[in-house]
Chain A
């Protein structure tokens, strides 16, 4: 029960008045970010990250900073449901599945029930994931303490291979996006040899590309351009929600316990494997439709059809933080931005964090419990306010969001060049999204590129260039093997089906 003690100490850290205030501020900002087009968890956190630089320098400040940023993340997860249900606009990709039954419910005048169901199941999904994190992360971290460079590289390999094998889209496009991320991460001064790489004589490239700029451009500006094209008639259902509706819906929800548990399990698993929340939400919606007794009515407005994707998305979004704090491998773009934050504040994410900064880790985990409770309270009481944000005309909100993105990009390094880069990344993001290139692998490669390369170099240096070092013992061999299995999973599955078909 060591974890429980540590967690209680964490609650002590998280329950300070300042941290509680930051939690509510974070959740409210997060919901606004989740509701607004062009701002989402990843770029919202990226824009606000520079504001925490000075906060993180005070004693205990890094914990407050991560609480603020992670609560923005929870808020954004909640916010996505609001736009999906009321406006049929998924604010985040993982809320797409929520629109299937959520919006029909709202059209039938049951917006209150749909929202209550969505928020409550989000909360339950997150809660189950946090409980899993509480008990599993010390185990994973302890295990990872034995890791050397080959093991760390094979974990990175696993992460990236999972993207290729599990994405389901065009594998070449996933590889292209990921490798462009690695190449951009390599730009600038090479810390090992001190040589300049890929700068081609441009002094502004010396520092390399900051992933925060890429995130703000790719997701922020890119999305504004995309939204613009779709036309902007936000026609929303009204967002009346009162205690009576909430209680009635809560009475109905226990009926769907099986769906909840199944979706939470899918979410927890998919969240740890990168690629995360979006496929998890679709998968559990699909499973619920197949397994529920009124599955054939899904799509016409079933509360259960809201419960399934929301539980899974929130569970996945939360459990994406497990590999981030234990291994230093983020499971989602937003987790990647949080990881970047840790690096900027001078913390080394990874197994040692549990040993060296227990206050920080357990404060963060405790804040996940509290932040989600705060989130549930805020969304249930203030939905109409947040829905009103979407009624602000696009011709006002769009330039304001672009200005916010520009300020965010500038403040990362106080550099105008970054603002220009942001616009370029925005155009790339628009083109890539329309052509079906996934953006998450690029962001993850940008964040992890240097660390992956460093571990790769150290590993093969140790083995004098022998690539078999990645199979040198059971642990690293198993990780590498699993990575290759995931990489070729689509081929293996196709081959398997072919064999079965022939026999």
Chain B
């Protein structure tokens, strides 16, 4: 018997078909925009859309081929693309990562990174705060020294750096 954790969240077939459809749509978008720009022979040679037009056609064709193949393949339906347990694991990383990159603009790279590493250690690693604090702060300080001072590559900074006068 399959346990709840191992139950499939999506079959390979479903994902395969979905991705093929997205690829086809992407190709159609490329074809559409290239056609708008002109995909034929202009006065001074090929028009701007000439090359991408055919690229788009190839994308559509390959998308269709993958789609049809996946539709016909019966083995794919039974195969699991990702189990619920795996999906949950992926999301516990992906969601914080999306949050992390979206707050960099407000908090600055260093503060956001410190919080992000701390969250990971707390949530996935189940570490005590006494260990989390030195590691997460230490890594960010190390990055600050490497990038701002050693390589003089400035990264976005936020209110904390402003308050400390590090800008």
Interface residue SS majority, chain A: helix
Interface residue SS majority, chain B: helix
- Whose C-beta in chain A lies nearest to the C-beta of B150? A51
Among A399-436, those with CB < 8 Å from B are 399-400, 402-403, 406-407, 410-411, 414, 416, 419-420, 422-423, 426-427, 430-432, 434-435
Task: Identify which of A175, A224, A453 contacts B93 (C-beta below 8 A).
Answer: A224
**Bound CA–CA A453/B50 (angstroms):** 10
Decide if B105 is an interface residue (CB 8 Å cutoff): yes
Kindly supply a per-residue 1/0 record for chain B positions 4-41, scoring 1 wherever the CB is within 8 Å of any chain A CB and 0 otherwise.
00000000100110010001001101100110010001
**Bound CA–CA A186/B155 (angstroms):** 29
Task: Identify which of A176, A224, A407, A457 contacts B155 (C-beta below 8 A).
Answer: A407
B55 adjacent to A179 (CB under 8 Å): yes
Decide if A495 is an interface residue (CB 8 Å cutoff): no
Among B145-159, those with CB < 8 Å from A are 147, 151-156
- Whose C-beta in chain A lies nearest to the C-beta of B101? A419
Decide if B124 is an interface residue (CB 8 Å cutoff): yes
Kindly supply a per-residue 1/0 record for chain A positions 43-56, scoring 1 wherever the CB is within 8 Å of any chain B CB and 0 otherwise.
00000001100100
A176 adjacent to B104 (CB under 8 Å): no
A423 adjacent to B90 (CB under 8 Å): no
**Bound CA–CA A409/B37 (angstroms):** 31
**Bound CA–CA A179/B119 (angstroms):** 39
A173 adjacent to B62 (CB under 8 Å): yes
Task: Identify which of B62, B93, B113, B135 contacts A225 (C-beta below 8 A).
Answer: B93
A423 adjacent to B98 (CB under 8 Å): yes
- Whose C-beta in chain A lies nearest to the C-beta of B96? A399
Among B85-128, those with CB < 8 Å from A are 86, 89-90, 93-94, 97-98, 100-102, 104-105, 109, 113, 116-117, 119-121, 123-125, 127
Q: A180 and B41 in contact (CB under 8 A), knowing A396-B117, A396-B135, A407-B147?
A: no
Using C-beta atoms within 8 Å of the partner chain, give the interface range for chain B.
35 or more
**Bound CA–CA A197/B37 (angstroms):** 8
Q: A197 and B33 in contact (CB under 8 A), knowing A51-B153, A406-B101?
A: yes
Decide if B139 is an interface residue (CB 8 Å cutoff): yes
Task: Identify which of A50, A193, A396 contacts B121 (C-beta below 8 A).
Answer: A396
Tally chain A residues at the interface, Cβ within 8 Å.
Answer: 57
A457 adjacent to B81 (CB under 8 Å): no
**Bound CA–CA A170/B68 (angstroms):** 13
Task: Identify which of B52, B66, B100, B135 contacts A176 (C-beta below 8 A).
Answer: B66
**Bound CA–CA A369/B58 (angstroms):** 42
B51 adjacent to A186 (CB under 8 Å): yes
* A-B pairs under 8 A by CB, number: 161
Decide if B78 is an interface residue (CB 8 Å cutoff): no
A403 adjacent to B116 (CB under 8 Å): yes
Contacts of B127 in A (CB 8 A): 395
A200 adjacent to B116 (CB under 8 Å): no
Task: Identify which of B15, B62, B69, B117 contacts A399 (C-beta below 8 A).
Answer: B117
**Bound CA–CA A400/B89 (angstroms):** 18
Kindly supply a per-residue 1/0 record for chain B positions 131-167, scoring 1 wherever the CB is within 8 Å of any chain A CB and 0 otherwise.
0000100010001000100011111100000000000
A197 adjacent to B97 (CB under 8 Å): no
A193 adjacent to B48 (CB under 8 Å): yes
Contacts of B45 in A (CB 8 A): 192, 457, 460-461
B139 adjacent to A403 (CB under 8 Å): yes
Q: A228 and B51 in contact (CB under 8 A), knowing A396-B125, A399-B120?
A: no
Binding site for B on A (CB under 8 A): 50-51, 54, 170, 172-173, 175-176, 179-180, 182-183, 186, 190, 192-193, 195, 197-198, 200, 221, 224-225, 228-229, 393-396, 398-400, 402-403, 406-407, 410-411, 414, 416, 419-420, 422-423, 426-427, 430-432, 434-435, 453, 456-457, 460-461, 465
> Besides the contacts A54-B152, A183-B30, A403-B143, what 12 more A-B pairs have beta carbons closer than 8 Å?
A170-B69, A179-B58, A182-B51, A186-B52, A190-B48, A197-B34, A228-B93, A398-B124, A399-B117, A400-B117, A403-B113, A416-B104
